Structure 1
Amino acid sequence: MTPEDPEETQPLLGPPGGSAPLSRRVFLAAFAAALGPLSFGFALGYSSPAIPSLRRAASPALRLDDAAASWFGAIVTLGAATGGVLGGWLVDRAGRKLSLLLCTVPFVVGFAVITAAQNVWMLLGGRLLTGLACGIASLVAPVYISEISYPGVRGLLGSCVQLMVVTGILLAYLAGWVLEWRWLAVLGCAPASFMLLLMCYMPETPRFLLSQQRRQEATAAMQFLWGSEQVWEEPPVGAEHQGFHPAQLRHPGIYKPFIIGISLMAFQQLSGINAVMFYAETIFEEAKFKDSSLASVIVGVIQVLFTAMAALIMDRAGRRLLLTLSGVVMVFSTSAFGAYFKLTQGGPSNSSHVDLLTPLSMEPASASVGLAWLAVGSMCLFIAGFAVGWGPIPWLLMSEIFPLHVKGMATGVCVLTNWFMAFLVTKEFSSVMAVLRPYGAFWLASAFCIFSVLFTLSCVPETKGKTLEQITAHFEGR
């Protein structure tokens, strides 16, 4: 199908004219899929309360030293990078629904291995399995939700992926106050188990079913999701069955979204979010907070509130505007953060290692409570700015911009890029600080945030209110 006028393009699937569907079960299906990102967030947040508990473990075989504690956190990113590749393969061959069901297995098995752990290797093996599940869930859930949503709510439902991630992190922090590491791992099995039960009753996405020429099942899925049995136009199935070939990268409809997706994931990790999270508890200690673990909860609450706000306004404000505003806020906050380190002349200059979730020790030469509160304010502003735009939107756009026949491969590369950059930034941040000092490292993050704003304004299209087919047509110049 090649319409001569893009403005006259009708939605291939969904209610005519974009009208609201009769059924609200699309929200139930989106919630079921979003339980995967909730498990993903819990797995990420798990190490923060678990590491201190494991450092004090009664059994020497389970006690974590500094190196083991670092790998206990960092190995999740390696597992997730592998899961991103595996998820990209699964999502096209097994389908969106079955891929979500399959990712519950490593979640549950991984936490079960941690629960039964008798030595550090079992702990690391369990974390690697949960990381694998995180990578699959972080890819498949956005794709599933974008393909079952109609344009008027796709931004809202798609943003719920990141909302559930930060909610899962916050739940891990809160539960960590009252549960030791074994019982916390038992709790980690719950969201994935619930998703397994709920997703069994949810349909496959109509777009995937039509691409497989399963029209009758697609009709039933649309009846369930949208309260409508009518299919206005069936997408061409030839391209979908061709799969991806490197020669297709010459086509604007492939290489343009490819560049955008990979760049968004790289800029998200280069923004400095991990560096800020490293220092969260230490900054709160400098501001005279009695309980430094409260810092994790405050950070989690800020993330949840502002990600929820972004979800509510996503379909009105648009993706480009929120990305731009988010980037500008992060530029100012990381600059202020760097100024704090410059003024206090603090931070390690020769450290060779950074724990994933344990902040580096800081001993400012002339730190005052006033300057510490400047750091607290900058940190909270940064986290709020990140949560409004650069937290949820790269994942949302990743699920929107790729044509159906390359979506599995392309989203797999994007997820691999994100997790690889997360691992790289995590492990090499101390080396950057050794060369540039802490203030230089944060000012470098500020420069990356400036580049992210310029990239958004020059390259990222607005997808608000458009069907997935209209977005594809935009990149193809139709």
Structure 2
Amino acid sequence: MLIGFAVGVSSFVVPVYIAEIAPKQIRGRFTSINLLMTNYGFAVAFFMGNIISWRTLSLIAVVPCVVQLVGLFFIPESPRWLAKVGREKEVQGALQRLRGKKDIADIFQEAEDIRGYVAAFGIGMGGIPWVLMSEILPIDVKASGGSIATLTNWSVSWLITYTFNFALEWNPASTFFFFAAMSLVAVFFTWKLVPETRGRTLEEIQQLCS
């Protein structure tokens, strides 16, 4: 059970972290190497299982886990995560650690690009759905409806984050055309079906949505 939980978490967290910290020129290779090394680890474990007992194998497997656990205290935070949670001053420092002795102008530009994206998302689609959800759901279904909406939101976010790098490796242009098409569908959906809530009381909104 513990192995299943750990593999489930790491198979999502690690590719996301790598994608967020790797330079764009080598991001695909880094994410591919992660998958390669994971499968290599499985192969080694199965091979050794034919030679030694499972108890001994489990004890040996603890060693890289401990090394990785200690290493977590030394790796820098993702610059994109820092920008997302508002720790703006730390973004450039994290990039400096990750990029090494690179031109400070390049690091500054990359930091500005990250901040710009996070700010644009925050004032655009980042917050609006949550505001709408809190306003248009009737009081008798607000708890259950909000839970379903939140679960759907983060599940789809997980799916997009997990598959994005694979899609980018397959065809960069098609990947962004797909997201552009989905954005167009969202605009049309909002225009036709989402009610305007500005200047209306919650009771008026409920009447409009019923």
Measured against the shorter chain, the TM-score band is: 0.5 to 0.7
Find 2:32's aligned residue among 159, 173, 188: 159
Q: Following the alignment from structure 2 to structure 1, what is the Cα–Cα distance between the partners of residues 48 and 58?
A: 10
Contact 1:139 1:411 in 2 (8 A): no
Q: Following the alignment from structure 1 to structure 2, what is the Cα–Cα distance between the partners of residues 140 and 244?
A: 25
Q: Following the alignment from structure 1 to structure 2, what is the Cα–Cα distance between the partners of residues 137 and 204?
A: 16
Q: CA deviation at 1:215?
A: 1.3
Amino acid aligned to 1:160:
I
Residue aligning to 1:242 = 127
Structure 1 residues 291-338: Cα deviation after superposition (integer angstroms, max 9, x where no partner): xxxxxxxxxxxxxxxxxxxxxxxxxxxxxxxxxxxxxxxxxxxxxxxx
Residue aligning to 1:130 = 3
Q: Following the alignment from structure 2 to structure 1, what is the Cα–Cα distance between the partners of residues 65 and 128?
A: 30
Contact 2:16 2:161 in 1 (8 A): no
- Confirm whether residue 203 of structure 1 aligns to residue 76 of structure 2: yes
Amino acid aligned to 1:207:
R
Contact 1:244 1:409 in 2 (8 A): no
Q: CA deviation at 1:472?
A: 5.8
Q: Following the alignment from structure 2 to structure 1, what is the Cα–Cα distance between the partners of residues 128 and 66?
A: 33
Find 2:21's aligned residue among 148, 151, 157: 148
Q: CA deviation at 1:170?
A: 1.4
* Pairs within 5 Å for 1:257-272: none
Amino acid aligned to 1:166:
N
Larger relative contact order, structure 1 or 2 (CA cutoff 8 Å, min sep 6):
1
Amino acid aligned to 1:410:
V
* Pairs within 5 Å for 1:60-459: 128-227=1-100, 228=104, 229-230=107-108, 231-233=111-113, 234=115, 235-237=117-119, 238=122, 242=127, 409-410=155-156, 412-413=158-159
Q: Following the alignment from structure 2 to structure 1, what is the Cα–Cα distance between the partners of residues 67 and 27?
A: 23
Any unmatched runs of 5+ in structure 2? 134-151, 184-210
Q: Following the alignment from structure 1 to structure 2, what is the Cα–Cα distance between the partners of residues 140 and 148?
A: 12
- How big is the alpha-carbon RMSD for the aligned residues of Structure 1 and Structure 2? 3.6
Contact 1:147 1:206 in 2 (8 A): yes
Q: Following the alignment from structure 1 to structure 2, what is the Cα–Cα distance between the partners of residues 414 and 241?
A: 15
Distance 1:412 1:463, change over 3 A: same
Any unmatched runs of 5+ in structure 1? 1-127, 249-405, 417-455, 465-470
Q: Following the alignment from structure 2 to structure 1, what is the Cα–Cα distance between the partners of residues 67 and 2?
A: 18
* Pairs within 5 Å for 1:19-30: none
Q: CA deviation at 1:223?
A: 0.4
Contact 1:148 1:206 in 2 (8 A): yes
Match of 2:171, SS state, is coil
* Pairs within 5 Å for 1:2-41: none
Quote the sequence identity (%). Answer: 26
Q: CA deviation at 1:236?
A: 3.2
Match of 1:202, SS state, is coil
Match of 2:66, SS state, is helix
Q: CA deviation at 1:244?
A: 7.0
Q: Following the alignment from structure 1 to structure 2, what is the Cα–Cα distance between the partners of residues 475 and 415?
A: 12
- Confirm whether residue 476 of structure 1 aligns to residue 185 of structure 2: no
Residue aligning to 1:347 = none
Q: Following the alignment from structure 1 to structure 2, what is the Cα–Cα distance between the partners of residues 140 and 243?
A: 26
Distance 1:166 1:198, change over 3 A: same
Q: CA deviation at 1:174?
A: 2.5
Distance 1:156 1:415, change over 3 A: closer
Q: Following the alignment from structure 1 to structure 2, what is the Cα–Cα distance between the partners of residues 415 and 130?
A: 23
Q: CA deviation at 1:160?
A: 1.4
Structure 1 residues 422-462: Cα deviation after superposition (integer angstroms, max 9, x where no partner): xxxxxxxxxxxxxxxxxxxxxxxxxxxxxxxxxx9xxx961
Amino acid aligned to 1:159:
S
Structure 1 residues 244-275: Cα deviation after superposition (integer angstroms, max 9, x where no partner): 76x99xxxxxxxxxxxxxxxxxxxxxxxxxxx
Distance 1:413 1:161, change over 3 A: same
Contact 1:138 1:415 in 2 (8 A): no
Contact 2:22 2:30 in 1 (8 A): yes
Distance 1:414 1:187, change over 3 A: farther
* Pairs within 5 Å for 1:456-467: 462-463=171-172
